[in-house]
A and B are shown apart, each in its own frame.
Chain A
Amino acid sequence: MVWTAISILIISVFAGIFGSLLGLGGGMIVIPALTLLMGVDIKYAITAGLISVISTSSGSAVVYVRDKITNIRVGMFLELATTIGALTGALVAGFLQPKTLYILFALQLFYSAYSMIKKRNQELPEIRSIHPMAEKLKLKGEYYDKALNQTVTYQASSVYSGFGLMYLAGVISALLGIGSGSFKVIAMDHFMNLPMKVSTATSNFMMGVTAAASAGIYLFRGQIDPKIAGPVAIGVVIGATIGTRIMQRMRSVTLRKIFIPVLLYVAVEMLLQGLGVK
């Protein structure tokens, strides 16, 4: 029993480091590790994954928000899209064929991976013309980049497509029960032209809110097992604290190179689900 708890805790530390670096939440590590290595029932592994998302989000935001890597306004504005999306998803759940959605989103992820590979050597976003909506909503900012030793200023572009993609991310989170952190990072990095570090930190920041809504429900449904979710929560908080320190000293180019294979992996997984192979 003690060893099980310690093993879960150690796995979760890695999930926390990885999740806070890439803005993905860490459920991607926690869920397969718990089911495959520890033999945990998938029902409890998924909810432990949600707990992991919340821990990564809040744990890493303590540092990212303080150091102004997270853009709070961008986060709040886009949370509007994801929460409305999640609500829509919950309402239309009965009418849509999840398999079709899986395939559509896999294709979108493949395209995003392709565009990310194209700009794999890009450290900071190129300067585009000022978007009037971004100006109005104050979707801009600056942060001190510890890897580059310089202050980076930025401004969001393509506000509408970013908002639209976030809405879709919310819909699929609700329909497929995933955190969709990869879509959040892409909406900010690719569409809105925000720096990679701001995109991952802000994605992390937003994710806790979406996950909290469903985690509360699962807790009262009795699907959160304290002896599994407890060690996960503590391990991930420790991991996220380490991860935030690593990320700030890492170059965005390196971050991108870790993100691309992860993106491809998620895309393949979704495609297989959609085709009914898995």
Chain B
Amino acid sequence: MMEVVISKSLRYGVTISAITILLGLILFIITGKSGYPGHTFPTTLSAILTGLVSLKPYAIIMTGLLLLILTPVFRVGISIIVFLLEKDYLYVIITSLVFAILITSLLLGKVTH
């Protein structure tokens, strides 16, 4: 049960992000336009989302990449719920700690750099 839920959540995450990236790439190749001047691309969340709404190829690819990056974090979150349903409280604590550390390091913005 635990394996099925985690495997499925990863499958959705990977599929959705891969399709988004692919759509962006196809649009970029067909139109030959990235939607942004020169070699620039959107780097803030709001720029990515506004670009996505106006279907700019680079913004679509960036959205897909962002979804891909969020997939493992999402997986840890799902694991907490799964361990909770299995009443394995030791692992609820372990996984919650991992999740908390992950968020802390994201906020610190220095990890693996």
Contacts and interface: CB of A to CB of B under 8 A. Distances in A.
Contacts of A214: 111-113
A271 B26 CA distance: 43
Contact of B68 (A55, A79, A220): A55
A226 B24 CA distance: 9
Contacts of B66: 219
Contacts of B72: 54, 57-58, 208-209, 211-212
Interface stretch (A59-67, A116-124, A151-159, A245-253): A59-67
A230 B25 contact: yes
Contacts of A210: 112
Contact of A87 (B18, B70, B104): B104
Interface string A206-225: 00111111111111111011
Interface of A: 1-2, 5, 51, 54-55, 57-59, 61-63, 65-66, 68, 72-73, 76-77, 79-80, 83-84, 86-87, 89-90, 93, 137-138, 173-174, 177, 208-222, 224-227, 229-231, 233-234, 237
Given A58-B75, A209-B75, A212-B72, 20 more contacts: A51-B65, A51-B68, A54-B68, A59-B14, A62-B7, A76-B79, A79-B98, A80-B101, A83-B98, A87-B111, A174-B111, A208-B71, A213-B112, A218-B113, A220-B43, A222-B41, A225-B41, A226-B34, A226-B58, A230-B21
